[in-house]
Amino acid sequence: MHNTYESPLTKRYASKEMSFLFSDDNKFTLWRKLWIALAEAEKELGLNITQEQIDELKNNVSNINYDVAKEREKQTRHDVMSHVYAYGVQCPKAKGIIHLGATSCYVGDNTDAIIMKDALLLIRIKLLHCINNLKEFSLKYKALPTLAFTHLQPAQLTTVGKRATLWLQDLISDLELLNFCIDNIKLLGVKGTTGTQASFLELFDGDHEKVKRLDEIVCEKMGFKEKYFYVTGQTYPRKQDMFVLNCLSSIAQSAYKFSNDIRILQSLKEIEEPFEKNQIGSSAMAYKRNPMRSERISALARYVVINSLNPAITASTQWFERTLDDSANKRLSIPESFLAIDGILNLYINITSGLVVYPKIIEKHIYEEIPFMATENILMEAVKRGGDRQELHEKIRIHSMEAARMVKEFGAKNDLIDRICNDKDFGLAKDEILQVLKPENFIGRCKEQVEDFINKIVDPILKNIEIERIDVEINV
């Protein structure tokens, strides 16, 4: 037991990999790598920095002396300068050139951008895993008829696989947006206190070309060649955070829709999420098999969608070259959105890896409704045999209303087909009508649509991508 609050996102939902990306160890190690990149670039451009100093910085990049930084911060109330001091304690020869010419946002903002990109790359792996799972599910059930709903009322038929392509198509859209974000995340670079690079211009005795090269060299060393903002205030534009969290929100929206559909399908007993051998569905009702993982997706997705408002408001309210009302908000909204979406995708992977389909229940529900859906086909067949279209349409309407009334008011079986068979004006035998009632006659191009979508859209995305096996850890 712990006597202080622990975030359930790290304790219960997110993976160790995502939690590490937003950990202090990763953050402060990146700060040190950025200080090394800055010193190396400044040395390459002619400042009086020795290789011995840089080697000393590199030798201490990972063994962060948190105790020294913590004590120093009590005095200075400044986290960056406390870590500059702590690094200098470990690197006495280099302490004078650490953070040379930079402002706090040099390490803070560049680190945030690097972490976000790494986190998006992890999200991409998991999103591709979900896409692959749904692809296989769609193909497996591409021809299995099922009731389609509009307004949550039975409408016509679709197939289980075709419905899954709707979930899949949402994820494809998310992947396109995710790829855009990954390709377009930019570093702040080396800009100085208000973005004018004045301090660096002074360091290089007014040499503008060297200051420009400093930006280029540092960003390239950090893996962002030609990916940095040309103009900024003290920080990178906060719209970058808004773009990223909107992308996470989009993934959450897709997962939310999927989870709601699964929850309804599980209530209908047509499709169930995986259920562990010793899993307990309810503390009171031992027979229950609740869609707990889908419900958890819904809960976390709601959080991510709402959280995307934070950077939008922050981006709108930054004054001139910078204000600090972004900092505390960023510390919460960005990591927690990533941790939550990571948890969502862990659940999505788990559910789509083991969805259980019950064809007999699906078929039962179809035959409860298909007589109503078949009325147009029956009408056309009767008209071909000489019947009056308008008269027969009215008769079918009356028979349908009465059959529906019997089902709803008395719980009776749907006897619409028997009513039509017994009406001599239709001139159709029961076996002829039953031929019309075959579910596969009502699924249109579902099977072909699934195949076309997979072949033309999904497979080209997955081609040459090895879907990494992910053993997601979730609390069931």
Domains detected in the chain:
7-145+156-274+288-350+451-468 (1.20.200.10), 375-436 (1.10.40.30)
pLDDT at residue 322 tops 90:
yes
C-alpha 211, offset from chain centre: 39
pLDDT at residue 40 tops 80:
yes
Confidence of residue 473 (pLDDT cuts 50, 70, 90): low
Q: Dihedrals φ, ψ of 271, to 5°?
A: -140, 140
pLDDT digits (tens, 9 = 90+) for 400-446: 899 889 888 998 888 888 888 888 888 888 887 877 788 999 999 99
pLDDT at residue 252 tops 50:
yes
Identify the active-site residue in 62, 173, 282, 316: 282
Task: Give the H/E segment covering residue 280.
Answer: none
Q: What's the confidence (pLDDT) of residue 422?
A: 85
Contact between 141 and 159 under an 8 Å Cβ cutoff? The reply is: yes
Confidence of residue 285 (pLDDT cuts 50, 70, 90): very low
Between residues 231 and 274, which one has the greater pLDDT?
231
pLDDT digits (tens, 9 = 90+) for 172-212: 999 999 999 999 999 999 999 999 999 999 999 999 999 99
How many other C-beta atoms are found inside a 10 Å radius of the C-beta of residue 464?
A: 6
3-state secondary structure 223-234: CCCCCECCCCCC
Q: Is 110 left (phi over 0), alpha (psi -120 to 50) or beta?
A: alpha
Q: What's the confidence (pLDDT) of residue 314?
A: 96
pLDDT at residue 273 tops 50:
yes
pLDDT at residue 470 tops 70:
no
How far apart CA 96 and CA 84 sit, in angstroms, is 10
C-alpha 139, offset from chain centre: 23
pLDDT at residue 257 tops 80:
yes
Contact between 116 and 244 under an 8 Å Cβ cutoff? The reply is: yes
Give, in order, the Cα–Cα distances in Å from 198 to each of 100, 193, 231, 315, 373: 13, 8, 13, 25, 74
Q: What's the confidence (pLDDT) of residue 349?
A: 97
Mean pLDDT of 341-364: 97
Q: What's the confidence (pLDDT) of residue 163?
A: 98
Between residues 471 and 269, which one has the greater pLDDT?
269
How far apart CA 430 and CA 436 sit, in angstroms, is 10
Q: What's the confidence (pLDDT) of residue 284?
A: 44
The percentage of residues in the chain with a pLDDT greater than 90, rounded to a whole number, is: 77
Nearest CA to 456 out of 181, 250, 179, 172 is that of: 172
Entry pTM: 0.91
Nearest CA to 181 out of 234, 242, 238 is that of: 242
Rounded to the nearest integer, the mean pLDDT of the chain is: 92
pLDDT at residue 280 tops 80:
no
Mean pLDDT of 259-283: 80
Q: Is 283 a catalytic residue?
A: no
The DSSP secondary structure of 295-354, one letter per residue, reads HHHHHHHHHHHHHTHHHHHHHHT--TT--GGGHHHHHHHHHHHHHHHHHHHHHHHHHHHS
The percentage of residues in the chain with a pLDDT greater than 70, rounded to a whole number, is: 95
Q: Is 15 a catalytic residue?
A: no
pLDDT digits (tens, 9 = 90+) for 106-157: 999 999 999 999 999 999 999 999 999 999 999 999 999 999 999 999 989 9
Between residues 368 and 320, which one has the greater pLDDT?
320
pLDDT at residue 469 tops 90:
no
Q: What's the confidence (pLDDT) of residue 468?
A: 58
Give, in order, the Cα–Cα distances in Å from 462 to each of 174, 180, 265, 301: 15, 17, 28, 25
Mean pLDDT of 74-80: 92
pLDDT at residue 219 tops 50:
yes
How far apart CA 93 and CA 169 sit, in angstroms, is 57
